[in-house]
Protein backbone atom coordinates (compact mmCIF):
# COMPACT_ATOMS: atom_id res chain seq x y z
CA UNK A 1 0.00 0.00 0.00
CA UNK A 2 3.00 2.32 0.59
CA UNK A 3 6.19 2.28 -1.48
CA UNK A 4 9.06 4.70 -0.95
CA UNK A 5 11.69 4.87 -3.68
CA UNK A 6 14.99 6.73 -3.51
CA UNK A 7 13.92 9.22 -0.85
CA UNK A 8 16.50 11.93 -0.03
CA UNK A 9 16.04 14.79 2.43
CA UNK A 10 18.10 17.83 3.38
CA UNK A 11 18.18 20.32 6.27
CA UNK A 12 19.80 23.24 4.45
CA UNK A 13 22.98 21.79 2.94
CA UNK A 14 23.06 18.81 5.33
CA UNK A 15 21.64 15.63 3.82
CA UNK A 16 19.67 13.56 6.35
CA UNK A 17 18.26 10.78 4.10
CA UNK A 18 20.13 9.03 1.26
CA UNK A 19 18.10 7.02 -1.27
CA UNK A 20 15.82 5.39 1.27
CA UNK A 21 13.47 2.78 -0.17
CA UNK A 22 10.91 0.66 1.65
CA UNK A 23 7.45 -0.81 1.34
CA UNK A 24 4.60 -1.42 3.74
CA UNK A 25 1.97 -3.93 2.63
CA UNK A 26 -1.71 -4.14 3.64
CA UNK A 27 -1.96 -4.83 7.36
CA UNK A 28 1.81 -5.05 7.85
CA UNK A 29 3.71 -3.90 10.93
CA UNK A 30 7.11 -2.59 9.83
CA UNK A 31 9.61 -1.26 12.37
CA UNK A 32 12.45 1.17 11.63
CA UNK A 33 15.33 1.05 14.05
CA UNK A 34 18.34 3.33 14.24
CA UNK A 35 20.40 5.34 16.65
CA UNK A 36 19.67 8.93 17.66
CA UNK A 37 20.09 11.12 14.60
CA UNK A 38 19.85 8.22 12.13
CA UNK A 39 16.94 9.92 10.34
CA UNK A 40 13.89 8.02 11.63
CA UNK A 41 11.84 11.13 12.44
CA UNK A 42 12.92 12.82 9.20
CA UNK A 43 11.72 9.77 7.25
CA UNK A 44 8.28 9.66 8.92
CA UNK A 45 7.88 13.43 8.61
CA UNK A 46 8.78 13.25 4.91
CA UNK A 47 6.13 10.58 4.38
CA UNK A 48 3.37 12.66 5.97
CA UNK A 49 4.59 15.80 4.22
CA UNK A 50 5.98 17.91 7.08
CA UNK A 51 9.66 17.10 6.63
CA UNK A 52 12.47 19.21 5.24
CA UNK A 53 13.22 19.54 1.50
CA UNK A 54 13.01 16.10 -0.05
CA UNK A 55 13.32 14.25 -3.35
CA UNK A 56 12.17 10.80 -4.35
CA UNK A 57 8.97 8.92 -4.91
CA UNK A 58 6.28 8.14 -2.36
CA UNK A 59 3.56 5.89 -3.74
CA UNK A 60 0.39 5.45 -1.70
CA UNK A 61 -2.34 3.14 -2.99
CA UNK A 62 -0.70 3.26 -6.45
CA UNK A 63 -0.61 7.08 -6.60
CA UNK A 64 2.51 9.25 -6.34
CA UNK A 65 1.88 11.60 -3.41
CA UNK A 66 5.26 13.27 -2.90
CA UNK A 67 3.90 16.59 -4.19
CA UNK A 68 0.78 16.46 -2.00
CA UNK A 69 0.48 18.72 1.05
CA UNK A 70 0.24 17.05 4.46
CA UNK A 71 -3.52 17.54 4.88
CA UNK A 72 -4.20 15.72 1.59
CA UNK A 73 -2.00 12.80 2.66
CA UNK A 74 -3.84 12.64 5.99
CA UNK A 75 -7.19 12.68 4.21
CA UNK A 76 -6.00 9.85 1.97
CA UNK A 77 -5.47 7.64 5.03
CA UNK A 78 -1.99 8.35 6.41
CA UNK A 79 -2.07 8.95 10.17
CA UNK A 80 0.98 10.36 11.96
CA UNK A 81 1.78 10.50 15.69
CA UNK A 82 4.83 12.68 16.38
CA UNK A 83 7.36 11.96 19.10
CA UNK A 84 6.36 15.23 20.82
CA UNK A 85 2.63 14.31 20.63
CA UNK A 86 1.39 17.77 19.53
CA UNK A 87 -1.78 17.80 21.61
CA UNK A 88 -4.02 20.77 22.34
CA UNK A 89 -2.92 20.97 25.95
CA UNK A 90 -5.62 23.40 27.10
CA UNK A 91 -8.38 21.18 25.71
CA UNK A 92 -9.82 18.16 27.46
CA UNK A 93 -9.27 14.57 26.40
CA UNK A 94 -12.74 14.48 24.86
CA UNK A 95 -12.21 17.75 22.99
CA UNK A 96 -8.85 16.58 21.66
CA UNK A 97 -10.56 13.50 20.26
CA UNK A 98 -13.61 15.17 18.75
CA UNK A 99 -11.59 17.94 17.13
CA UNK A 100 -9.89 15.26 15.03
CA UNK A 101 -13.08 13.56 13.86
CA UNK A 102 -14.07 14.35 10.28
CA UNK A 103 -16.86 16.94 10.54
CA UNK A 104 -18.92 15.38 7.78
CA UNK A 105 -19.57 11.66 8.01
CA UNK A 106 -18.82 10.24 4.59
CA UNK A 107 -21.42 7.75 3.38
CA UNK A 108 -18.60 5.45 2.25
CA UNK A 109 -16.89 5.45 5.67
CA UNK A 110 -16.96 2.16 7.48
CA UNK A 111 -17.77 3.84 10.78
CA UNK A 112 -19.24 7.07 12.15
CA UNK A 113 -17.24 9.45 14.38
CA UNK A 114 -19.31 8.22 17.37
CA UNK A 115 -18.42 4.61 16.59
CA UNK A 116 -14.76 5.53 16.30
CA UNK A 117 -14.92 7.34 19.61
CA UNK A 118 -16.34 4.20 21.24
CA UNK A 119 -13.64 2.13 19.59
CA UNK A 120 -10.75 4.27 20.88
CA UNK A 121 -12.33 4.22 24.35
CA UNK A 122 -12.37 0.41 24.21
CA UNK A 123 -8.75 0.42 23.07
CA UNK A 124 -7.63 2.89 25.78
CA UNK A 125 -9.91 2.42 28.80
CA UNK A 126 -7.47 4.61 30.78
CA UNK A 127 -8.69 7.63 28.79
CA UNK A 128 -12.32 6.96 29.68
CA UNK A 129 -11.67 7.95 33.29
CA UNK A 130 -10.18 11.32 32.36
CA UNK A 131 -12.39 12.56 29.53
CA UNK A 132 -12.80 16.05 31.00
CA UNK A 133 -9.22 16.54 32.11
CA UNK A 134 -7.06 19.01 30.17
CA UNK A 135 -4.30 17.23 28.26
CA UNK A 136 -1.75 19.37 30.14
CA UNK A 137 -2.66 17.47 33.33
CA UNK A 138 -1.91 14.01 31.96
CA UNK A 139 1.26 11.97 32.31
CA UNK A 140 3.55 11.51 29.33
CA UNK A 141 2.23 8.02 28.67
CA UNK A 142 -1.40 9.13 28.93
CA UNK A 143 -0.65 11.94 26.50
CA UNK A 144 0.94 9.44 24.14
CA UNK A 145 -2.23 7.34 24.26
CA UNK A 146 -4.35 10.41 23.61
CA UNK A 147 -2.16 11.38 20.64
CA UNK A 148 -2.64 7.92 19.13
CA UNK A 149 -6.36 7.91 19.95
CA UNK A 150 -6.74 11.31 18.30
CA UNK A 151 -5.05 10.06 15.14
CA UNK A 152 -7.32 7.00 15.14
CA UNK A 153 -10.33 9.32 15.06
CA UNK A 154 -9.22 10.33 11.54
CA UNK A 155 -9.66 6.74 10.26
CA UNK A 156 -6.06 6.13 9.11
CA UNK A 157 -5.25 3.11 6.93
CA UNK A 158 -1.54 3.38 7.72
CA UNK A 159 -0.19 4.66 11.03
CA UNK A 160 3.21 6.37 11.06
CA UNK A 161 4.37 6.30 14.68
CA UNK A 162 7.49 8.02 16.01
CA UNK A 163 8.75 6.29 19.18
CA UNK A 164 5.27 5.47 20.57
CA UNK A 165 6.62 3.66 23.66
CA UNK A 166 9.53 5.98 24.44
CA UNK A 167 9.87 7.72 27.80
CA UNK A 168 6.63 6.49 29.38
CA UNK A 169 5.92 4.46 32.52
CA UNK A 170 6.35 0.67 32.11
CA UNK A 171 2.68 -0.06 32.84
CA UNK A 172 1.65 2.33 30.09
CA UNK A 173 4.28 0.88 27.72
CA UNK A 174 2.50 -2.47 28.05
CA UNK A 175 -0.91 -0.86 27.47
CA UNK A 176 0.39 1.02 24.43
CA UNK A 177 2.04 -2.09 23.00
CA UNK A 178 -1.13 -4.15 23.49
CA UNK A 179 -3.27 -1.46 21.86
CA UNK A 180 -0.95 -1.28 18.85
CA UNK A 181 -0.89 -5.05 18.48
CA UNK A 182 -4.70 -5.10 18.69
CA UNK A 183 -4.85 -2.51 15.88
CA UNK A 184 -2.40 -4.62 13.86
CA UNK A 185 -4.66 -7.67 14.32
CA UNK A 186 -7.57 -5.56 13.08
CA UNK A 187 -5.61 -4.90 9.89
CA UNK A 188 -4.28 -1.36 10.45
CA UNK A 189 -0.87 -1.15 8.76
CA UNK A 190 1.91 0.53 10.73
CA UNK A 191 5.35 1.95 10.14
CA UNK A 192 6.93 2.48 13.55
CA UNK A 193 10.22 4.19 14.40
CA UNK A 194 11.57 2.88 17.67
CA UNK A 195 14.86 2.37 19.44
CA UNK A 196 13.57 0.37 22.40
CA UNK A 197 12.53 -2.79 20.47
CA UNK A 198 9.11 -3.05 22.10
CA UNK A 199 7.29 -3.71 18.82
CA UNK A 200 10.20 -5.04 16.74
CA UNK A 201 9.69 -8.58 18.00
CA UNK A 202 6.12 -8.53 16.66
CA UNK A 203 6.95 -6.91 13.31
CA UNK A 204 6.73 -8.53 9.90
CA UNK A 205 9.92 -6.64 8.99
CA UNK A 206 12.57 -4.66 10.83
CA UNK A 207 14.49 -2.06 8.80
CA UNK A 208 17.62 -0.37 10.07
CA UNK A 209 18.54 3.24 9.30
CA UNK A 210 22.17 4.18 9.76
CA UNK A 211 23.22 7.79 9.16
CA UNK A 212 20.28 8.29 6.79
CA UNK A 213 20.79 5.06 4.82
CA UNK A 214 18.64 1.95 4.93
CA UNK A 215 20.96 -0.87 5.90
CA UNK A 216 19.20 -4.15 5.74
CA UNK A 217 15.83 -5.77 5.99
CA UNK A 218 15.11 -8.75 8.21
Residue numbers of the site for ligand ATP (CB under 6 A)? Answer: 11, 14, 16, 34, 36-42
Write down the least CB distance from residue 14 to ligand ATP, Å. 6
What separation in angstroms does the CA of 6 have from each of 129, 147, 176, 213? 45, 30, 32, 10
Distance CA 29, CA 206 (A): 9
| Torsion 133-104-86-89 (CA) sign | negative
Q: What is the DSSP letter of 157?
A: S
Q: Confirm if 145 and 126 have CB atoms less than 8 A apart.
A: yes
CB of 83 to ligand ATP, least distance (A): 6
Least distance between ligand ATP and beta carbon 70 (Å): 16
The CB-of-85 to ligand ATP minimum distance in angstroms stands at 14
CB-CB contact of 31 with 206 (8 Å): yes
Q: How far is the CB of 128 from ligand ATP (least distance, A)?
A: 31
Instruction: Write a three-state SS string for 192-213.
Output: EECCCCCCHHHCCEEEEEECCE
Q: Which of 125, 129, 123 lies closest to 181, judged by CA? A: 123
Q: Which CB sits closer to ligand ATP, 9 or 123?
A: 9
Nearer to ligand ATP, 44 or 120 (CB): 44
Nearer to ligand ATP by Cβ, of 38 and 127: the residue is 38
Query: Which of 217, 187, 204, 161 minimizes the C-alpha distance to 26?
Result: 187
Output 18 or 88, the one with its CB closest to ligand ATP. 18
In the complex, the smallest distance separating the C-beta of residue 103 from ligand ATP, rounded to whole angstroms, is 32
The residue among 38 and 207 lying less far from ligand ATP, judged by its C-beta, is: 38
According to DSSP H, which parts of the chain are helical?
40-48, 70-75, 93-100, 113-123, 125-128, 140-152, 170-185
Nearer to ligand ATP, 5 or 166 (CB): 166
Amino acid sequence: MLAVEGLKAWYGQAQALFDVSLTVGEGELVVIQGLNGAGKSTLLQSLIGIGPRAQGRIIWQNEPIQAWPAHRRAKAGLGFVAEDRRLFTALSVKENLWIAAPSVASPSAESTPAQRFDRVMALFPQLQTMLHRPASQMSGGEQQMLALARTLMTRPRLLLLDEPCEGIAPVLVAAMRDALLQLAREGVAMLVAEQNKILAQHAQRVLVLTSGRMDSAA
